[in-house]
A = this chain, B = another copy of it.
Amino acid sequence: MAKERVTVIDIARAAGVSKSTVSLVLQGSSLVNEATRAKVNAVIRELGYVYNRSAANLRQAKSKIIGIVVNDLTNSFFAELAVGVDAVVQSAGFVQFLANTGEKSERQREVIASMREHGVSGLIISPARGTEAADLAPLVESGIPVVLVVRDIARAGVSSLISDNRAGALAAVRHLIARGHRRIAFLGGFADTAVFEARMRGYRDALREAGLNAGDDLVIGSAPSRAGGVTAIEQAMMLEDRPTAALCFNDAVAFGVCDGLRARRLEPGADFAVIGFDDVIEAKTAVPALTTVSVDPQGMGERAAELLLKQIKAGRAEPEAIVGPVRLVIRQSCGSAVERRAKEVS
């Protein structure tokens, strides 16, 4: 069954032209006569020719592959990010090489090495936790365009596209304060990441400007997952002076917090205000619909891809550090019932 490869030479012979002409047709050159082009295309279809990109890559040193490496594909935020990247990369005639590191930097190293071997012409990376500038140095020196998304790395010397985490957290907490909350927790996330640090900064700044103290007891880290959210809220409810609202590290945590609340017969939105971060697809349809800081993962993927494509086209570009806007979308999980209750209490 596995017949031997049909090559450009076979096509040439069958169509009665030279291999150069066939090559020209393949790249859609305008140099070739309409009639010849039609003839060649017909033969290509007839013989079931499959273009060999390895050969082409070898000759011209550019590959039409872009790589994207994410730290946790299981988190829908990153899945959506990948979908966004795919969309624009695809329509630019590139193909996407996606790898998941599962937060393991060893795995990340392998994956990046493999992508380089395959000659990707650019890389979009959402780095695993603990990745340092030194880890990326060889890659960066090789001159391959790289765009960091979601998590920036200091002095890595590459472009980055992150969202304005501080501003988002600030807006969210201000909103809670305006609704009368005084005991506001920050739940979930690992403290050793830059994203955590930035969101935390916004949280603290909002509290400070309202003259509230940001006691560390109200900051409770956990895995940035649904399960992590459950444990974080449980811990929060053990405090003698309980919070009445929480800003969560991300939407997954927020969903977990809602779950944990319900497990204690508390209704999120009514008995306790919760705000998430990211605005993943489910945030809108969940019940109660999640109030969250919208980061638009898909849009972020698209913009990262556009940025990368621009750099690829430009050859060598100055690294840009873009921080994307973010907006608080108010839905039900910090609902008006809370507002009333919280005001009575305070």
* Residues of chain A having any CB pair with chain B under 8 Å: 1-3, 5, 48, 50-55, 57-58, 61, 63, 65, 73-74, 76, 79-80, 82-83, 86, 90, 95-100, 102, 107, 110-111, 114, 116-119, 138, 141-143, 226-227, 230, 255-256, 258-260, 262-263, 281-282, 284-288, 315-316
Contacts and interface: CB of A to CB of B under 8 A. Distances in A.
A1 B316 contact: yes
A260 B286 CA distance: 9
Contacts of A102: 83
Contact of A100 (B50, B86, B286): B86
A284 B226 CA distance: 10
A180 B262 CA distance: 26
A272 to B, nearest CB: 14
Given A51-B117, A74-B76, A226-B281, 12 more contacts: A1-B141, A2-B142, A48-B142, A52-B58, A55-B58, A74-B79, A74-B83, A83-B102, A95-B97, A96-B99, A98-B98, A230-B285
A104 to B, nearest CB: 11
Contact of A54 (B54, B142, B288): B54
Nearest to A258: B287
A83 B100 contact: yes
A60 to B, nearest CB: 10
Given A61-B5, A83-B74, A262-B287, A52 B99 contact: no
B54 A118 contact: yes
Contact of A117 (B50, B99, B285): B50
B48 A138 contact: yes
B281 A259 contact: no
A256 B285 contact: yes
Contacts of A83: 73-74, 100, 102
A95 B100 contact: no
Contact of A1 (B1, B50, B119, B143): B143
A29 to B, nearest CB: 19
Chain B CB within 10 Å, residue with most, of A110, A227, A287 = A287
